[in-house]
Structure 1
Amino acid sequence: MVSEPEYRRGRSVVSALHVHLVFVTKYRRGVLTDEMLTTCEQVMRSVCDDFGSRLVEFNGEGDHVHLLIEY
């Protein structure tokens, strides 16, 4: 069963906009620790809240971070 996507509804617009961001370390070296990833997720959630968007998903490893943001 496919779930119905959540739509943002405005006065004259209906939208479901998402962006997938990937941040990569220089030379793809594994420099990000679990503590750094946890802090990064908290900061990104705060920034999304400030801009009126929502961080749907956050994943990361030692050399990159994936963010799925709904705005």
Structure 2
Amino acid sequence: MFADRHLTRMEEIMRSVRQDFEVALVEFNGENNHVHLLENFPPEVARSKLVNSLKGVSSRRMRQEFPDLIEHHWRAQRLWSSSHFAGSVGGAPLSTVRQHIEQQHPPA
């Protein structure tokens, strides 16, 4: 579903949305059907609001900018499923988490 050009633009959109929340996007990568984000955000930011904003804004902008995706992949005018996974890295070194995200296989 996602080609490299889609992921490049999606990263730009998501970095922009994060500025409104004062959240740092440390690492971004994706595959053809999902993305991985490593974020650093203050405890007062509600993760659910951040995720909803990221999904809503990116879906809307991607549909506007890439009409070819609409024809083949969007159902009910949505890019994302309603679910997401978030995990805490706790004591894991940041370099290990970053390496995992970098090793994803983005589409050509």
TM-score class, shorter-chain normalisation, is 0.5 to 0.7
Question: 1:23-51 CA distances to partner (integer Å, 9 max, x unpaired)?
Answer: xxxxxxxx001111001000110111111
- Structure 1 match to 2:15: 45
TM-score, structure 1 length as denominator?
0.55
Please say if 1:55 is aligned against 2:5: no
SS in 1 for 2:26: strand
Identity across the alignment (%): 54
Unaligned runs of 5+ in 1: 1-30
The separation in 2 between residues aligned to 1:55 and 1:63, in whole angstroms, is 20
Residues 23-34 of structure 1 mapped to structure 2, 5 A cutoff: 31-34=1-4
CA RMSD of aligned residues (A): 0.7
AA at the equivalent of 2:6: M
CA distance in 1, matches of 2:31, 2:14: 16
Unaligned runs of 5+ in 2: 42-108
Counterpart Cα distance in 2 of 1:48 and 1:70 = 10
| Separation (CA, whole Å) in 1 of partners of 2:34 and 2:21 | 23
Corresponding residue SS for 2:29: strand
Q: Please list, as runs of the form range in 1=range in 2, the aligned pairs for 1:4-43 lying within 5 A after superposition.
A: 31-43=1-13
Letter matched to residue 60 of structure 1: G
How big is the shift at 1:64? 1.2
Larger Rg: 1
Stretches (4+) displaced over 2 A: none
TM-score by length of 2: 0.37
